[in-house]
Amino acid sequence: TTMALTEDFVYFSLDWPHMHHLVALVCLVVVVYKLNMLLAKRKTTFRNMEAFSGPPGHWLFGHFKQDGTELFKIVQWGKLYPYAFPLWFGPFVCFLNIHHPDYVKTILTSTEPKDDFAYRFIESWIGEGLLVSKGQKWFRHRRLLTPGFHYDVLKPYVKLMSDSAKTMLYTIKNESGSITQRKTSYTKTNESFELFQHVSLMTLDSILKCAFSYSSNCQTEGGTNTYIKAVYELSDLINLRFRMFPYHNDLIFYLSPHGFRYRKARHVSRIHTEEVIRKRKEALKNETELERVQVKRNLDFLDILLFAKDEDQQGLSDEDIRAEVDTFMFEGHDTTASGLSFILYCLACHPEHQKLCREEIIEVLDGKDTFEWEDLSKIPYTTMCIKECLRLYPPVPGMSRKITKPLTFFDGRTLPEGCHVGTSVFGIHRNANVWENPDVFDPLRFLPENVSERSPHAFVPFSAGPRNCIGQNFAMNEMKIATALVLKRYQLIEDPALKPKIIPRLVLRSLNGIHIKIKPVDPQV
């Protein structure tokens, strides 16, 4: 009997028409099951969000087209739907978009984990570093990494940041065409150039020098740096995956051409990271104590990672070290590049404020061409202008969390466990109920007396609460130094024909780049 059953099975297995029918039937059952699950999820989401009205969206594509207007739509919708409203990304994923400090306080003062859905795409790139980790792992890593951002560690970075900024000025001078040297005379032209690419290379160069004591030639290589290209590719593909419903499925994305490009770019990124770590381990193989390293040279972020020990004298695993290096390499250069690019663009658009900043900077530098640690606190007006630029163009335009318990906001509306909450930093910073004339550039908003009158959650370019950006002082220092050295050398001029079409990626970007014109402050320099 067993033999007969086996023969029947083999015969049926080899009967290909029947086999095709069976496979088709199984596939149909799986598709119907998955579709029912997704429709049930959609129905549950509508029920969870019933306390919050919002703008109508397309049943399939949700609320956005990537045309450079979506962030301004959030601001406009915010006027119609105070505090919060639902936003759909495709037919099955919905976030409660919050855009008011009183709502933001509720979510950012908690230690809720970063959103599993939104951040799992990033995690597949940078690993479970500080940006995406949660629970005890996040607490442990945050505690171990905090010494890496002490002012004693940050202080020596000022000269390195200045050196990187000066290299950027040299490359801008050569490429922009604004100054052409002919023997001893200079000829001025009136051509704009794309700024973001230069700033990205500068911030990568800076983060490698400061955090990893790794000297690269990424600025002088031109636009050929493979790591920068990989980061751009990964950022765009993660954003694409987030917004395209079929790509939410791991298998579909893996088999797609975009999935192939993603894996290729991720491979380039990881090789770069592993090479940085390998070289440092090789250099430290005979060292056993951080203090002995500090006697020989200034400590950096990677030293602290490699020597970090918790109360049980347990250090970070090789995987944890790679994840934190990838996280800091991405966050430490891409977010700062976005912030600095829009700062320079903003100052080009407001020459009267640019002039006041330049006068302050020239007085502080007093003939020097390099910034020093003590100078950072001596440029208050420039600092206020930088903050106003970060208000109008926050480097990270939004953040998301997935709540692990029911959440009640100050007005009594609630969300059940498991809902996605998106914090629109761009929306908060341009909320007319919080900021008077929010679209007007006014650095005096950041005078101490004006700051004290606002909610501390009205201005959150580096997030807030326990999960705020651990590297915010590093980023602010770099933006101050680069802005000061650029303004000392050049007058920045807006190109009205090439206004940026801003879009939310992992960081704030422009569809058409960020273009400005420059003119030397001193033509003989």
Average pLDDT over residues 410-436: 94
Angle, helices 351-365/472-489, rounded to nearest 10 degrees: 100
Q: pLDDT tens digit string along 483-493?
A: 999 999 999 99
> What is the pLDDT, as a whole number, of residue 169?
93
Q: Are 336 and 475 in contact (CB under 8 A)?
A: yes
Q: Would the pLDDT of 9 be above 80? A: no
Q: Would the pLDDT of 398 be above 80? A: yes
Q: Output the 3-class SS for 33-95.
A: HHHHHHHHHHHHHHHHCCCCCCCCCECCCECCCCCCCHHHHHHHHHHHCCCEEEEEECCCEEE
Q: Please give the domain boundaries of the chain with CATH numbers for all domains.
A: 110-396+461-520 (1.10.630.10)
Q: Would the pLDDT of 182 be above 60? A: no
Task: Tell me the backbone φ, ψ of residue 444, rounded to 5 degrees.
Answer: -70, -10
Q: Would the pLDDT of 17 be above 80? A: no
Q: Would the pLDDT of 409 be above 70? A: yes
Known binding-site positions: 469
pLDDT band for position 296 (cuts 50, 70, 90) = low
Output the furthest CA–CA distance in the chain (Å, rounded). Answer: 101
More confident residue, 470 or 110: 470
Q: Would the pLDDT of 184 be above 80? A: no
> What is the pLDDT, as a whole number, of residue 116?
59
CB neighbourhood size of 432 (10 A): 12
Separation between Cα atoms, residue 122 and residue 345, nearest integer Å? 28
More confident residue, 432 or 60: 432
Average pLDDT over residues 264-292: 82
Known binding-site positions for heme: 469
Separation between Cα atoms, residue 126 and residue 322, nearest integer Å? 8
Q: Which amino acid is at 53?
A: S
> What is the pLDDT, as a whole number, of residue 117?
62
Separation between Cα atoms, residue 418 and residue 421, nearest integer Å? 10
Q: Would the pLDDT of 383 be above 90? A: yes
CA 483, distance to chain mean position in Å, is: 20
Q: pLDDT tens digit string along 92-101?
A: 888 999 999 9
Q: Would the pLDDT of 181 be above 50? A: no
Q: pLDDT tens digit string along 416-426?
A: 988 889 999 99
Where helices occur in 177-225 by DSSP H, the ranges are: 196-212
Average pLDDT over residues 103-130: 76
pLDDT band for position 178 (cuts 50, 70, 90) = very low
Separation between Cα atoms, residue 332 and residue 371, nearest integer Å? 20
pLDDT band for position 187 (cuts 50, 70, 90) = very low
> What is the pLDDT, as a whole number, of residue 288?
65
Q: Of 297-306, 393-402, 475-484, where does the model show the most confidence?
A: 475-484
Q: Would the pLDDT of 42 be above 60? A: yes
CB neighbourhood size of 389 (10 A): 27
Q: Would the pLDDT of 223 be above 80? A: no
Q: pLDDT tens digit string along 153-173?
A: 899 999 999 999 999 998 888
More confident residue, 220 or 53: 53
CA 337, distance to chain mean position in Å, is: 9
